[in-house]
Amino acid sequence: MVRQIIRRGAATAVAVVGLEAAYAVLKPAPELDDFDPSGEFGSPENPTLRVVVMGDSSVTAPGVSGPEEIWVSIVCQRLADTGHHVVLRSVAVGGSMAHNLISDQLDDTLSFDPHLILVSVGANDVIKAVPRAVFESNLDFLIGELAKTDAVIVQSGVGVLGTIPRLHPPLSQMVSRRSRRFDDAHWRVAQKHGTAVVHQRSDDPKAWSHRELWAADQFHVSAAGHARWAETAWRTIEPLVAAVDGQR
């Protein structure tokens, strides 16, 4: 009898999470344009830094008004302000998971011969139920290939994804737990390969309850959210500028 009750409870929980997931996916939302942040920042007379950003919609940024509002554009402008001519190339594609970065973005990244590589991935793997071990294996392979270059590599980590307004309990709580495990995977891979990780979880997750940080679809991040992302990313990237200069 007890086992039957436990099984029924587990089945009910799975059903509830399934309904929440279906609601999050099927709830009507406005279609938002993607952007390509690729471009040049700073004077061409300054030393050139080639930067590649790999990733997903955290880079293509549906929810902002233009590419200049994307976190990576803000970071590159700050690099330019330190006396560099920054050439940014984005190979990111919305919806990408770690295995997509390997199959669709790795070759273009390597062919650009970058000094700095930014890898923004993990959120879709969390949300699309990729097993953590599979994600970590894919990320390990990807970073291992990138580490064969002389580039400085910065990984995005994974923030507290349960704060996404489109997600509701218990799904939001489950996603928060999964996102921590996937963030931990970023750190393990970084330790193995000697790369850096953005301290996404150094930001106060309560701040992300403010709707102005989110786009109209309640899933992607707004310009204000990208500005906050840029601040967090810059705290990791700024101390590495000297190392990046050493690769030129």
User: What is the per-residue pLDDT for 21?
Assistant: 45
The answer to whether 49 and 77 are in contact (CB under 8 A) is no
Tokens of 220: 């992607």
- For 155, the 3-state DSSP assignment is strand
User: What is the per-residue pLDDT for 246?
Assistant: 75
pTM of the model as a whole: 0.89
Residue 62 lies in a domain: yes
User: What is the per-residue pLDDT for 52?
Assistant: 98
User: What is the per-residue pLDDT for 3?
Assistant: 47
User: What is the per-residue pLDDT for 16?
Assistant: 33
Residue 12 lies in a domain: no
Residue 134 lies in a domain: yes
Percent of the chain with pLDDT over 70: 88
Residue 110 lies in a domain: yes
User: What is the per-residue pLDDT for 87?
Assistant: 98
CATH, residue 81:
3.40.50.1110
Residue 227 lies in a domain: yes
Residue 24 lies in a domain: no
Confidence of residue 28 (pLDDT cuts 50, 70, 90): very low
Q: Which domain covers residue 83, as residue numbers? A: 31-245
Q: Is 95 left (phi over 0), alpha (psi -120 to 50) or beta?
A: left
pLDDT in tens, 88-116: 999 999 999 999 999 999 999 999 999 99
55-85 residues labelled b (16+ CB within 10 A) or e (exposed)? bbbbbbbbbbeebebbbbbbbbbbbbeeebb
Total domains, the chain: 1
Residue 2 lies in a domain: no
User: What is the rounded average pLDDT of the residues 202-227?
Assistant: 95
**Which has more confidence, 239 or 14?**
239
Residue 232 lies in a domain: yes
Give the mean pLDDT of the chain: 90
Assess whether pLDDT exceeds 50 at residue 162: yes
